Amino acid sequence: LGMIVDKVNQFFSGNDLLPSCDPDIVAGCEREVAEAEKLPSSDEALQESLLRLSWALVHSKRPEDVQRGIAMLQTSIPNAAEPLRQREKLYLLAVGYYRSGDYSRSRDLVETCLEVWFSPFGLTVTWLSREISKLSLPPL
């Protein structure tokens, strides 16, 4: 029982178990993006650097960094052609909303992320929910 109370306290106090970044990591990622922007033909390197910066921003302890990460991800998701890249960005956006306290939007994005993940296999989030329900129901 004490463990459950601790977890509930962690959740409501904002002490989640997500990794966090300090300003030095964010600054390092910003430098990496600036260097990648200078390279003439390295769009892939720039995209990887931007993804790392987005990760650092949404995992930052500073609310203004989290908001900046959310804004970056919102503008970049429509450009994500590959399902894997789209899923990564949706997940990071969900983390950003979670860190900013918008839990319902975060949950919606996690569900969308799962849909993107399951779609190549012909599965749905509804299927997953049914399977989880079967496991959580007491046997007859």
Structural domains present in the chain: 2-136 (1.25.40.10)
**pTM for the complete prediction?**
0.76
Report the distance separating Cα 112 and Cα 123, nearest Å.
Answer: 13
**Distance (Å, whole) CA 59 – CA 79:** 22
List the structure tokens of 35: 């260097």
Q: What is the pLDDT along the chain (140 residues), one digit of tens a residue?
A: 455 555 555 555 555 678 888 999 999 999 999 999 888 777 888 889 999 999 999 999 999 999 999 999 999 988 877 878 888 999 999 999 999 999 999 999 988 888 887 777 777 777 777 777 777 666 55
- Tell me the C-alpha distance between 140 and 134, whole Å: 11
3-state secondary structure of 101: coil
